[in-house]
A and B are shown apart, each in its own frame.
Chain A
């Protein structure tokens, strides 16, 4: 431990802070899009139209059945094939939103399905459509059950964003790696990197506890 280079730590902090900003930007965007995609897909998974539920199931199946890293590469290389030229930043946002959306869809679906079947029957009995029953009866009751796994997913999202270093987005992990390549101090940098993630994720956990407490 006596070879620990404190100098490189002080040197690195400003760069990592810049990387952390990018990480937070991407995570925040992916959180918003992923939540919108996920809640929509989760609600649609209970649709009374077979085709829609099949599409949602295929989506969730794919997201859960493939590594996030593969999804990142796939989005990065596949989108241009479809004529969508995105910056690597936005490719990253798309990939993470796509990934989070799949997991959130599953969270929402199981939350909705955990509500007693009698609630759905009562909704039907007063003439509600399937959609009305989901929106006005099941969703409000499942919100409290959905929130904890949902905030968990946001934390996973921040961690997954480190994968985007592979498509040359200078987020937090990539920023650290760039310094390692120049200064050959992997231990110091990865230790510092871990601290950065810990601080961000602890802050997020506190925030989610607060949100959950407000909802309870």
Chain B
């Protein structure tokens, strides 16, 4: 086995729901430190790709290799010996995921939402896990809200707790699935700022987003998906100024007309 130079290698990934490939032979290699913005129309398969990476969804075909380790199992004699559920869970720790709808643990305070992973999964003593959780919450500027339950927090605050929760597991890769789509417009900025901060610190990320300005400014790379495929894989600058495909141009035209409705200059 040749060691992969990539932090994340996706090869020939397909996901088929009742005969329909919603992800269709996707290849994507991500190097350490890259910030890959994934955009595309609804139903393009963006979420499914993310969910296949950490095996919340089991891929129908293809390999996901993270830091040289196959997420499905150990290769032996050209075949893959599938992992046990416990091994899969262990591999997942390395990947942080942030959901569109936050999915904070509803019965736990913000602090314990962040502490529970290190405590229960990594075996960190509770007091220590909470101390570290407090530091993570401080980083996303939520120190004053640590004792609150998710229902007592705004959407933007909840999403920042969710980011802290993922970071507390010290992942080597972060996946964001439309982290600001469920937020009121005035709360989008605070979440994007946190993600941008992470980018500056060198975290490797895949971010599915509809925030074009953000994708352009923060992304180091841009992947445009449609109909389950990667249509364009390029730099944000090139994609937004000289898109190579008709699908991309059409998508950008539609996005621009939608945004101008908010911002009639």
Task: Give A residues with C-beta under 8 Å from B.
Answer: 48, 116, 118-119, 121-130, 132, 136-137, 140-141
Contact = CB atoms under 8 A, between A and B. Distances in A.
Grouping DSSP codes into helix (H, G, I), strand (E, B) and loop, the B interface class, with mixed when no group exceeds half, is mixed
Nearest to B116: A136
Contacts of A136: 116, 120
B85 A126 contact: no
A147 to B, nearest CB: 14
Grouping DSSP codes into helix (H, G, I), strand (E, B) and loop, the A interface class, with mixed when no group exceeds half, is helix
Contacts of A119: 103, 105-106
B183 to A, nearest CB: 16
Interface string B37-60: 000000000000000001010000
Nearest to B57: A121
- How many B residues are at the interface, by size bracket? 20 to 34
Contacts of A118: 99, 101, 103
Given A121-B56, A136-B116, A136-B120, A128 B103 contact: no
Contacts of B107: 137, 140-141
A140 B106 CA distance: 10
Contacts of B85: 48, 129-130
B103 A126 contact: no
B169 A126 contact: yes
B226 interface: no
Nearest to A133: B89
B104 A122 contact: yes
Given A119-B105, A126-B169, A141-B107, A132 B120 contact: yes
B165 A126 contact: yes
A116 B187 CA distance: 24
A125 B56 contact: yes
Given A125-B54, A127-B93, 20 more contacts: A118-B101, A118-B103, A119-B103, A119-B105, A122-B97, A122-B99, A122-B105, A122-B162, A124-B92, A125-B97, A125-B166, A126-B121, A126-B166, A129-B85, A129-B86, A132-B120, A136-B116, A136-B120, A137-B105, A141-B107
